[in-house]
Amino acid sequence: MACQPPPTPPGFYQPQFMPSPTYPPYAIYMNGSSLGEDQPPLPKDYLVESLLVTIFCCLMSGLVALMYSYETRAALARGDVRGGERASQKARFLVMFSLMFGVFVCVGWIIYVIIALCV
């Protein structure tokens, strides 16, 4: 018959914390201001729009719009809302410019083909 020592608790054993009955069953943590304050919405990054105009309309200004839309996301990720707003405005302007340029080129091409076929 061999005698074994009684089981010992693990080396880093910590007793389980049991809150007292006065604690609420859960806690709500907020990041930022209180619930009563309305915060302005975050600026849109125009990533999808800039990608679409890069593919379908104008490559050069679409790529620059894509860069500004990524800059908007990066600024918002680091908490720079004002920088994100500026980059978002630039991205929106370049998306609209690329779209208008693409429409202008397509309409011009259609007019050119119609005139070339009629002559």
**What is the C-alpha to C-alpha distance for residues 79 and 54, in angstroms, rounded to an integer?**
28
Res. 113 pLDDT band, cuts 50 70 90? very high
38-42, 52-56, 100-104: range with lowest mean pLDDT: 38-42
* Contacts of residue 49, Cβ cutoff 8 Å, sequence gap at least 6: 65, 69, 95
pLDDT band at 55, cuts 50/70/90? very high
Predicted local distance difference test score (pLDDT) of residue 119: 82
Between 66 and 1, the more confident residue is 66
| Rounded mean pLDDT, 44-59 | 93
User: pLDDT (tens digit, 9 = 90+) per residue, 85-97?
Assistant: 999 999 999 999 9
Domain extent listing, the chain: 47-118
